[in-house]
């Protein structure tokens, strides 16, 4: 095996992946009613093009792209539109969605497959990825076609596929690499062709030796990575794999790199080779609050409660329900919220799995500084935020924070560092908008 690489900083929370890493993906049928969010991607929500009473086909567009940083939304089922309304969301309090009564999952609409994609014009491939609604499947949900459209004069020489899955509990990407290997490789090749990259690589933490071995046997260039959180964060992954440093406030394209998730690769392969829009994903359901943790292939719009039931239902006291991982995920107030393209996991956490301490004063120990992967001083930013000193917080680099949670995790005083820094970010941006108005 190649030398194991990593980045500076980070921490080592318990993995807890053993609960579901050995569970093969189970495909769930569509529920009786799907609630399909129009804001599954980063950017402007799709604009609804259907109304109550309309019949829709599986794969048909129910929300059109509404700006450059936006994507169309497709129906995952054949059925009848019941409502277009705001609903609880797993990644925000609420958002617009199309509620559809399922009639069947058979047939439906697909795009014309691009069989000869190796020789197709790259603009055709990018357009297909856009019209299929493909976005980042690792959680950020950034429209994939935008990443594949760098500004003129920008050269991309490196494509990194993110197979790290560094968040505790989550194993959906691990299972995808084992069970959808050829689709992953095909999607990786399509992305490399679009970008003009000849030697793409995939980064995988060494706690997934079976995935590393399988992909290497298939001829894929794998970079083994140390098990260290947040190894899968874009800038840290770039640093570990290439040694390049994305500047503060910069983007991966500033150092000639594009990063895509393994799930995104599979979605790209489906869109190009099979003409399928992005209407399903693999999601981990785990935590000691469910009876049978597992990995499930579900259509977007499936209520979280359906996944919980598929995992054997709740058991014991549930302290917290989380969409995503425990470090960067969002606490949910209801399990009626629907799965989106970015829902990598649903965690039902017991009291013993949740750190619930009273916040104390900073003791100036410096542990948050030691682990910050972006070389920030989280305690300084958080203190400035507490006292409403937004200019001081900005000068200390508040806007560079990616809210990975390493600082809060190691803080012996139980400081809510991430929350304080997020508040500073919101206030700084609000003040900037006021100045521009």
What is the pLDDT at residue 1?
47
Among the three residues 353, 380, 406, which one is the final residue of a domain in this structure? 353
pLDDT at 109 over 90: no
Place of tokens 């599986």: 58
What is the pLDDT at residue 100?
98
Residues 186 and 314 in one domain: no
What is the pLDDT at residue 90?
81
pLDDT in tens, 253-311: 999 999 999 999 999 999 999 999 999 999 999 999 999 999 999 999 999 999 999 99
What is the pLDDT at residue 92?
67
Domain span at residue 266 reads 112-274
- Confirm whether 11 is domain-assigned: no
pLDDT in tens, 209-222: 999 999 999 999 99
- Confirm whether 359 is domain-assigned: no
What is the pLDDT at residue 165?
97
Residues 81 and 159 in one domain: no
Residues 138 and 253 in one domain: yes
What is the pLDDT at residue 437?
74
Residues 95 and 190 in one domain: no
What is the pLDDT at residue 36?
98
Confidence of residue 334 (pLDDT cuts 50, 70, 90): very high
- Predicted TM-score (pTM) of the model is 0.95
Residues 168 and 254 in one domain: yes
CA 403 – CA 387 distance, rounded (Å): 20
Q: What percent of the chain has pLDDT over 90?
A: 90
Confidence of residue 2 (pLDDT cuts 50, 70, 90): low
Is residue 9 packed enough to be buried (19+ CB in 10 Å), middle (13-18) or exposed (0-12)?
A: buried
CATH of the domain at 222: 3.40.50.11540
């Amino acid at each position: 095996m190649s030398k194991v690489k990593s980045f500076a900083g980070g921490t080592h929370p318990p993995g807890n992946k053993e609960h579901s890493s050995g569970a093969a993906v189970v495909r769930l049928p569509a529920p009786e009613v799907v609630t399909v969010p129009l804001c599954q991607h980063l950017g402007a929500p799709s604009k609804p093009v259907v109304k109550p009473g309309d019949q829709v086909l599986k794969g048909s567009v129910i929300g059109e792209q509404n700006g450059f940083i936006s994507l169309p939304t497709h129906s995952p089922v054949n059925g009848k539109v019941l409502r277009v309304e705001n609903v609880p969301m797993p990644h925000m309090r609420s958002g617009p969605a199309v509620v559809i009564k399922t009639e069947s999952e058979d047939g439906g609409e697909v795009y014309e497959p691009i069989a000869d994609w190796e020789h197709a014009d790259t603009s055709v491939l990018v357009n297909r990825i856009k019209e299929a609604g493909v976005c980042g499947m690792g959680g950020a949900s950034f429209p994939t076609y935008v990443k594949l459209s760098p500004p003129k004069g920008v050269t991309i020489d490196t494509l990194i596929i993110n197979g790290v899955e560094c968040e505790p509990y989550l194993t959906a990407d691990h299972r995808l690499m084992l069970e959808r290997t050829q689709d992953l490789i095909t999607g990786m090749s399509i992305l490399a062709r679009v970008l003009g990259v000849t030697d793409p690589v995939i980064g995988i933490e060494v706690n997934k030796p079976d995935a590393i071995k399988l992909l290497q046997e298939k001829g894929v260039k794998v970079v083994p990575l140390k098990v260290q959180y947040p190894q899968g964060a874009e800038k840290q992954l770039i640093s570990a794999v290439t040694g390049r440093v994305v500047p503060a406030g910069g983007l991966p394209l500033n150092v000639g790199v594009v990063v895509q998730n393994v799930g995104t690769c599979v979605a790209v392969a489906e869109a190009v080779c099979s003409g399928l829009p992005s209407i399903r994903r693999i999601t981990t359901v785990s935590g000691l609050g469910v009876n049978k943790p597992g990995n499930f292939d579900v259509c977007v719009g499936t209520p979280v409660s359906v996944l919980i039931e598929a995992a054997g239902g709740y058991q014991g006291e549930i302290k917290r329900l989380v969409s995503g991982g425990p470090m960067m995920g969002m606490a949910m107030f209801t399990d009626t919220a629907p799965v989106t393209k970015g829902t990598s996991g649903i965690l039902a956490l017991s009291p013993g799995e949740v750190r619930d301490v009273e916040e104390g004063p900073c003791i100036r120990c410096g542990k948050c500084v030691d682990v910050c992967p972006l070389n920030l001083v989280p305690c300084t930013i958080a203190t400035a935020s507490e006292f409403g000193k937004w200019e001081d917080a900005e000068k200390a680099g508040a806007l560079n924070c990616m809210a990975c949670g390493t600082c809060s995790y190691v803080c012996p005083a139980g400081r809510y560092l991430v929350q304080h820094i997020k508040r500073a970010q919101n206030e700084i941006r609000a003040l900037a908008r006021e100045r521009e108005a």
